[in-house]
Amino acid sequence: MIETAEAEAPVRPAPERFSPLWHIAAVLALYVILRGLQTAAIAWLAQPGATVADSLLSWDAGWFVRVAGEGYPTGYTYDADGVLVGNGIAFFPLYPALIRLTSFTGLSLPDAALAVTWVCGAAASVALFQLGTRLYDRRTGYALTVLVIAQPMSVVLNMGYSEGLFLALAAGALLAAHKRAWIWMGVLGLAGALARPTGFALTVALAVAVLPAWRTESRRGRITSLTAAGVAMAGTPAYLLWAGHRIGDWDAWFRIQTAGWGSTFDFGRTTLKFLDSTARTGNGWVQVSVAWILIGAVVLALVAVGQRPWWPLVAYGLVTLVLVVGQGGYYHSKPRLLVPVLLVLLPLATALGRARLRTIVPALAGYAAFGLWYGAYLVTVWPYTI
């Protein structure tokens, strides 16, 4: 009888070896280590006479700092020949606003820009880990986090760029949506829509996320979820309408984007021409690497869809990817625009989540070594914008 009672006794699950706070601390440590290594790589590759700060505040970082200090222009900007050129209206307002706010601590505007980026990158790492853990398991959460923050153009998480801010808001909003924390979803989604044009893709995903609420939530829950999604979706059109009103032309933002950066949505024609010319005559390794990164992103996105992950994440990833591949502009900026596209890294994260530790560690170490060097090279040695 005693043996039978022991056999029928319920098996208690093994206690967690580490607390949730320990895992968050580990993720933050990984983030600091990777960003530190990338900064060291930038210092190593920096051209004579250039400083690390010069690299971290180059290209579009100057626009963000200028908007933070001077505000937005009230009209179009033209060059000496009377040709329309880009100006600060092209840059969504949340990141410059945070730079300005942070500068009240006594930091200069450039230093404030870097401080905002680093803090937001840390927040993004934690949100990514929690999202990956919630959707899959803790090991996948770690893998997804490292894959995202060490990818080839993760250097923007060091720089005065808005990707770190948007990544934190996107991951946070998706996490809130999965938890059905509708109010937080709406707040973070609205903030994401005011951080980057890609916020449109995030708000589409949040709208998809609230659909199941109509079957399972109470009347109050349905109203809350719908309102939250609506608030988030208002962000992008609100800024575009404000920009048009300020300039006095309803499509001012689109005209400025096209004039300054060639960022016109052409349904992928420019991307296809780039891939064709690279396959035929491409002779620069950066050009060839960007082509392979784009092809790899599309293939991995298709693989991810075939794995049937959480549908809001699919919606977010596919719309973001379409926006990157479908627009014109500089080909060497596309790897940076792929940084927030979480979907393309999902197959790798889930595969690593199932692998043994002796496979995960060298795989992620090799991936990070290439990714950190690649980004550092493009902001130091490569002479064109990212």
What pLDDT was estimated at residue 200? 96
What pLDDT was estimated at residue 172? 98
Is 10 within a domain? Answer: no
Q: Number of structural domains, the chain? A: 1
What pLDDT was estimated at residue 285? 94
- 195: exposed, middle or buried (Cβ count in 10 Å: 0-12, 13-18, 19+): buried
The predicted model gives 322-328 an average pLDDT of: 95
pTM: 0.94
Is 176 within a domain? Answer: yes
Is 16 within a domain? Answer: no
Q: Is the pLDDT of residue 38 over 50?
A: yes
Q: Is the pLDDT of residue 262 over 50?
A: yes
pLDDT, mean over the chain: 94
CA-to-CA dists, residue 13 to 16, 138, 339, angstroms = 9, 16, 38
Check: CB of residue 196 under 8 Å from CB of residue 162.
yes
Q: Is the pLDDT of residue 329 over 80?
A: yes
Q: Where are the alpha helices (DSSP H) in 104-218?
A: 109-135, 138-149, 163-179, 182-193, 199-210, 213-216
pLDDT confidence of 15, banded at 50, 70, 90? low
Is 385 within a domain? Answer: no
- 330: exposed, middle or buried (Cβ count in 10 Å: 0-12, 13-18, 19+): middle
- Of the two residues 170 and 262, the one the predictor is more confident about is 170
Check: CB of residue 235 under 8 Å from CB of residue 194.
yes
Is 92 within a domain? Answer: yes
Is 291 within a domain? Answer: yes
Q: Among candidates 210, 174, 218, which has minimal Cα distance to 192? A: 174
pLDDT confidence of 219, banded at 50, 70, 90? confident
Is 5 within a domain? Answer: no
**Host domain of residue 347:** 30-380
With residue 78 as reference, give the H or E element that holds it: strand 77-78
Q: pLDDT tens for residues 92-126?
A: 999 999 999 999 999 999 999 999 999 999 999 99
Count of CB atoms situated within 10 Å of the CB of 349: 24
The predicted model gives 144-161 an average pLDDT of: 97
CA-to-CA dists, residue 191 to 148, 174, 315, angstroms = 21, 13, 19
Round to whole Å and give the CA distance between 376 and 153: 8
Q: Is the pLDDT of residue 323 over 50?
A: yes
pLDDT confidence of 1, banded at 50, 70, 90? very low
Is 23 within a domain? Answer: no
